[in-house]
Structure 1
Amino acid sequence: MGETNPVFDHDDVEIQSDEVLFQGFFQVRGLTLRHRLFDGGWSAPMKRELFWRENATCVLPYDPVRDEVVLIEQFRAGALGREASPWLLEVVAGINEPGDSAEVTATREAQEEAGLELAALEHICDYLVSPGGTNELVHLYGACVDASGAGGIHGLDHENEDIRVQPLAFTEAMDALKTGRIWNAPAFMSLQWLALNRDRLRREWGGC
């Protein structure tokens, strides 16, 4: 019998092969591996395909004076085939460029996608999107902004972005959560965080 409560890490995985199966807008990699078992010994070799991409950063812009969040609306191919519209209400987000920190990515994407300047950033959490099938890690932040001029259509033409900026009162955003109008993880998680921290943020951030 193995240890009662073994603690495993990367050293307890043996990667036998790692190859790129597909390279397009995204990458798919195929791994052959085995790992240690809780009751001792090793698993049989297994094949796993992974949707592979760089870490991403998502940020919820919030105006503590106006008590508004700034969300963006855009088409998402991954939402096709569902009952709800594939135009999603989301937070600002982008893939981290090589060498860029999450904070740099948040600042860049807020300007590109929503025309916003971030006056303050607070880290919410880091989370794995769906580790059974992808390596993607998301850095999630809240940000203090002046939402008084937020709106319009934004995005980069060469990235085929067509983004409508949607300022919403805090109560409207929470209603959108309750009714299912917002149904993507970063927006859901960051708005729940805001609900828990809203009073503190309005005190601490003031007018940014």
Structure 2
Amino acid sequence: MQRDTDNFEHKILANESLYKGFYQMNKLSIAHQRFEGGEQRIERELLNRPNAVCVLLVDLAAGKFVFVEQFRVGAMHTPNPWLIELVAGLIDKDETPEEVGRREAMEEAGVELGRMEFITKYFPSPGGTNEWIYLYVAEVDSRQASGIHGLAEEGEDIRVLTPSIDEGLGWLAEGRINNAASIIACQWLQLNLDRLRLTWA
């Protein structure tokens, strides 16, 4: 569908580097077209992050999810900063999103993936970062999934969880699953579970 904003214009007037480490922060001065005509000028800080891949692991034969649980610094202000999540990783090498998903499933949960299906691609927080998330669902044998995983050189301490699908969706309803990729993927599964059971049978 063609949108009127497809022809809107914007330009960067100034770009100042504030920090450069694992991520990079820049201060931008931007001019963009206004809905009612004319020009709007704004200043924003932009966090430049590599794009990421998140994969919901499902064992339909056993009726189970495979989630991972790990400490997240951005959740330290909450009662429990150990979050229940999908396996995930950054696209920081010459890899396709699917290759990243398969690599991360082995690194974080010790499992090999079967079929993968693309769910969607979205901005997690476009008001301040340019990161895209590539979201997938993949079939897995949950009997392979257990224990503690992660790369020591990346400071990872990751525990594998294998709840039933009903239990995992209960965690979603209770708010125990509280990060965007996991919420979107689990809600997608609720809408597509019957179709997935037919196509992956």
Normalising by the smaller structure, the TM-score range is over 0.9
| In 2, Cα distance between equivalents of 1:7 and 1:95 | 33
Check whether the contact 1:72–1:166 (CA below 8 A) recurs between aligned residues. Answer: yes
Alignment of 1:3-22 (within 5 A): 7-9=4-6, 12-22=9-19
Indicate which of 174, 183, 196 corresponds to 2:178.
183
> In the aligned structure 1, how far is the partner of 2:3 from the partner of 2:96?
34
TM superposition score normalised by structure 2: 0.95
Of 79, 82, 96 in structure 1, the residue corresponding to residue 78 of structure 2 is 82
Q: What corresponds to 1:23 in structure 2?
A: 20
Structural mapping, 1:1-150, within 5 Å: 7-9=4-6, 12-43=9-40, 45-83=41-79, 85-150=80-145
> 148, 153, 156: which one pairs with 1:158?
153
Cα distance between partner residues in 1 of 2:7 and 2:91: 24
Q: CA–CA distance in 1 between the matches of 2:28 and 2:42?
A: 8
Overall identity of the aligned pairs, in %? 45
Per the alignment, in what secondary structure is the counterpart of residue 130 of structure 1? coil
Taking structure 1 as the reference length, the TM-score comes to 0.91
In the alignment, is the contact (CA less than 8 A) between 1:6 and 1:38 conserved in 2? no
Give the number of aligned pairs. Answer: 200
Task: Give 1:203 deviation, angstroms.
Answer: 1.9
Structure 1 segments, 4+ long, off by >2 Å, are: 8-11
Write out per-residue CA displacement over residues 22-44 of structure 1, whole angstroms, 9 at most, x where no aligned residue. Answer: 1223221111110011111211x
Q: Which 5+ residue runs of structure 1 have no aligned equivalent?
A: none
Q: What's the RMSD between the two structures over aligned residues?
A: 1.6
Aligned counterparts of 2:28 and 2:95: Cα–Cα separation in 1: 28
1:149 is displaced (CA, Å) by 2.2
Q: Is the 8 A contact 2:146 2:161 kept in 1?
A: yes
Q: Closer, same or farther in 2 for the Cα pair 1:6/1:152, shift >3 Å?
A: closer
Give the AA of the match of 2:65: V
Quote the Cα distance in structure 2 between the aligned partners of 1:92 and 1:6.
35
8 A Cα contact 2:67 2:160, kept in partner: yes
1:202 CA displacement: 1.6
Corresponding residue SS for 1:165: strand
